[in-house]
A and B are shown apart, each in its own frame.
Chain A
Amino acid sequence: MSGIARFAPVRLWARSLPFRVVILTLGASIAILVATGWFLLDQSSRGIIEGKTQASVAEASAVLQSMQTGLNSTDLRTTSINERITRLAREAATRGQYGNQYFVVVETPISTIAPDGLDAASIPESIQQSMTAGDGLWSTPTLIRFTDGRDSEPGLVVASNLQPPGQQLYPVFFIFSTAAERQTLAVVQQATLATGLFLLLGLSLMVYLISMQVLQPVRAARRAAERLAAGHLDDRMAVVGTEDQASLATSMNHMAEQLARKISELEGLSLVQQRFVSDVSHELRTPLTTIRMAGEVLHANRSAFDPLTARSAELLAAEIDRFEELLTDLLEISRFDAGAAELSLDEVDLSAVVHEEVAAVARLAGEFGTELILDAPQRCHAEVDTRRIRRIVRNLLTNAIEHGERRPISIHVRGNDDAVAIAVRDHGVGLSKTDAKLVFDRFWRADPARARRLGGTGLGLSIALEDARLHGGRLTAWGRPAEGAQFVLTLPRRAGDQVTESPWPKRPRDTQGGSDAVA
């Protein structure tokens, strides 16, 4: 779960354009906002603190001025300097309670005059050291601490020296509270932060909406493409919106039209092809029928002819048979090519069908001197086009007889839950590796030098393969030179179902290795 959770954003990044745009925009705007926010806060805090410092310094220097004046005008004969300073400090402190509030601390050699509760540590040492230089005003920020339990607060110390007549300097410290300014700054900070957050949220939402708006035509195009792919060639996109959107829709629609036109063109061609096959069929078959009947009349009366004419009549009759076979096979192949082949399904026992076909070629096998061994231990029902299955089986059997070198041929019929297999195994000339790949090719001949005794059109296995495929089954060839060949036809119990495992291995159990051609 955690793995998925960890990778979910990554996947979302890879998959979702709006997500990407929003994240990128967020990143960029956070950077900009942080920079401007920092600048804003820095500027405002500087301004505020500086203003406060200036005001404080001005006030302090004014007070200091009056203290100095008061001190100068003091008649030291009537009052001690300390008393005078103490009084001046009090006056200053009294002034400090109004307006720009401050505390006054005056250090005299005898004592430090300071308000009650103020911690002496509130005055940083650094300023005390720097002010020994004499004349001038110094200021520094500080933390105002109290001894009477009040909370410390930020402040500003403005320091100077009182110069009474005589050499002694009296350091005077004005401690201004900057709590109000700090508060103002905090408010500004909060406001900035809040504004930033609002901006971020608003921006994200806006960018998301905009990206959706931009994506909408892309998505519409995608949906349209999917509809097209699903075969709804008449579907069109609505041409609306901006120029870009509209031109996208127009292009998509144009593509759809072209596709539809091309497809209907091809369909038309396919129809023409089927019509052509059908027409050729009719046109060739009628004269062939006449020729065949004429040939048969001649053949039947050949005893009345001289030997040469009689033999000609025989050849004529035989070749008409071959011609017809070839025509039939060619038309069958064209029908497959045109996709016009249709199954006429019946539920039959394939063991019985194979049994009948073996019986049908028994005479031929006898002529060759080949033994046929049928191994069909149980009934194997399947939904098949019997005519096509008979044709396949007969083809495999005659091939095996022709190439079987008179050695026994075994025929196996087996079934499992969802498939039935018919295997024909011979021990004749066999197939080489290249042969095994070519056996299903049209007009392919195992060995052109070998005389063919059974004729055949050279299309038999091609048709057998197409027939097997039409059922959703398969036909495999295995062979090894001089060790024979095995063809296995595997058919689903229900036509069109998927065959997963054949009940009979495509490679014979009594051998190992060899070359396979699988179709």
Chain B
Amino acid sequence: MSEAYEGPPRILVIDDDEALAEMLDIVLRSEGFDARLCHVGDTALAAFHEHRPDLVLLDLMLPGRDGVDVCRDIRAESGVPIVMLTAKSDTTDVVKGLEAGADDYVPKPFKTQELVARIKTRLRRHVSTEATDDVLRIGDIAIRVDEHTVRRGELEIPLTPLEFDLLLALARKPRQAFTREVLLQEVWGYRHASDTRLVNVHVQRLRSKVERDPERPEIIVTVRGVGYRAGEPR
């Protein structure tokens, strides 16, 4: 997953509102990012291929190809962090975006600081996990922390950086039950956040990749009334 990382982080802004996109460009540049703009859903994937960004800021409502579809397209070929910009904070829209593979979302109207904090959290997670040669085990899968890989036997399970972080957070304290709030803080870097949909949707996505039977999870176990914990190693 780790690409050669040179110069300022590249951010692809996909938003049909040109004023907002330009404003985002100004703000992101002043924060030291290299921002690229794309205004139409149809060309979003092409722009993604062209710029190879480190993070995508994606508006959900786009002319042409819908934001949720664009999100799915990008996720199909890359684990690059995707942060949604949503005007509709209604449950269904946000959940749709998260299910399509977005890592996080920022509801409009947001403060610059808030957005930059989100972006930095996602980029930091992407590049830095302290180098250890630990191999952590949950259920019948093995997590190689230094390699950023998850394997069941010899078979590697491809995970996005966020999914990897989520699994790692659980695996590091195998017997601890995590509340959704704690996970939001550890993985998403939120403080005082109460949007547990983020955790729920990502746990579902992660389960669909790592569990043998997502209906009866053995890797990420639900602890009723609390949250989640890692399954027993086998």
Q: Which residues of A contact B (CB under 8 A)?
A: 278, 281-283, 285-294, 296-297, 324, 340, 342, 344, 346-347, 356, 386-387, 390
Contact = CB atoms under 8 A, between A and B. Distances in A.
Contact of B194 (A289, A290, A324, A390): A390
B61 A293 contact: no
Contact of B17 (A286, A297, A324): A286
A281 B23 contact: no
Given A286-B87, A342-B91, A390-B194, A297 B20 contact: no
A291 B24 CA distance: 11
B109 A281 contact: no
Contacts of A294: 23
B173 interface: no
Contacts of A288: 108-109
B109 A292 contact: yes
B124 interface: no
Contact of A290 (B23, B61, B90): B23
Nearest to B20: A290
B108 A293 contact: no
Contacts of B109: 285, 288-289, 291-292, 324
Interface of B: 17, 19-20, 23-24, 26-27, 30, 61, 85, 87-88, 90-91, 108-112, 192, 194, 196-197, 225
Q: Mostly helix, strand, loop or mixed at chain A's interface? A: helix
14 contacts: A281-B88, A283-B87, A286-B17, A286-B20, A287-B17, A288-B109, A289-B109, A290-B17, A290-B20, A293-B24, A297-B26, A297-B27, A340-B90, A344-B91
B194 A387 contact: yes
Given A287-B17, A387-B194, 12 more contacts: A282-B61, A286-B17, A286-B20, A288-B108, A289-B109, A290-B19, A290-B23, A291-B109, A296-B111, A297-B30, A340-B90, A390-B194
B30 A285 contact: no
Those 3 A-B pairs whose CB atoms lie nearest each other, nearest first: A282-B87, A285-B108, A289-B109
A289 B196 CA distance: 24
Contacts of A278: 88, 90
Nearest to B106: A289
Given A282-B61, A286-B108, A387-B194, A293 B23 contact: yes
B201 to A, nearest CB: 13
A289 B26 contact: no
A299 to B, nearest CB: 10
B19 A287 contact: yes
A10 B192 CA distance: 69
Contacts of A344: 91, 196-197
Among the interface residues B85, B194, B225, which one has the most CB atoms of the partner chain A within 10 A?
B194
Contacts of B85: 289
Nearest to A283: B87
Contacts of B30: 297
B212 to A, nearest CB: 29
A344 B198 CA distance: 13
Contact of A281 (B20, B87, B112): B87
Nearest to B15: A286
Given A290-B17, A290-B20, A290-B23, A296 B112 contact: yes
A285 B91 CA distance: 17
B194 to A, nearest CB: 5
A288 B108 CA distance: 8
Nearest to A301: B30
Contacts of A390: 194
A289 B110 contact: yes
A386 B194 contact: yes
